[in-house]
Amino acid sequence: MRSGSRIGVAGRVNLVGMRAGLVGRWLLLAMLGVTQPACGATDDKDWKTMRESMLEEIQDDYRRSAGWTGLPSASAEVLAALRAVPRHAFVPEEVRDSAYRNHPLPIGRGQTISQPFIVALMTDLLEADSDARVLELGTGSGYQAAVLGELVASVYTVEIVAVLAEQARERLATLGYDNVHVRSGDGVLGVA
């Protein structure tokens, strides 16, 4: 994302490609008959308003933590990715109304979806280029993988809890993230 990348990749995310991906996901959801959120908010406008509020909170966290992280604000690319990924689709229905609050939420099996600020910060610190391939250990609900999927060529993610891996795989496929590849296994030991 930024020049002088510590991982040796340079360049910018193709925002046109990201927009095309969003249109494709919207068309897929429309064809599947998904026309409004499953609970809480009654239309996309409510989700968008909540998402924008979350992004403002994230920017506040960046400002407060700039002395430690060296990042006074989220990059435009990361903000665009967070804006594009429907976080409410990655949390259980019983906590969906809280999907855009800037804190972790339970996703089942004793696991949580990370706080949006942490997802943004980890993504920014990665400084990955649009042609990068990223390995993620701990898929969880698939939210971080989806955010990365908006920014890089390929994401390979490993989840030790088999049921979470399968749910994430199905969710990511439904949302059109064909560049995110989910495996079930222990990422510390490697997977074949």
Question: What residues are annotated to the active site?
Answer: 114
* Amino acid, res. 192: A
Beta-ladder partners of 136: 157
* Amino acid, res. 4: G
Is residue 30 classed exposed, middle or buried when 0-12, 13-18 and 19+ CB atoms within 10 A define those classes?
exposed
DSSP conformation letters of 23-74:
HHHHHHHHHTT--S-SSSS-SHHHHHHHHHHHHHHHHHHHHHHHHHHS-SS-
Sign (positive or negative) of CA dihedral 148, 57, 65, 75: positive
Q: Strand, coil or helix: what is 111?
A: strand
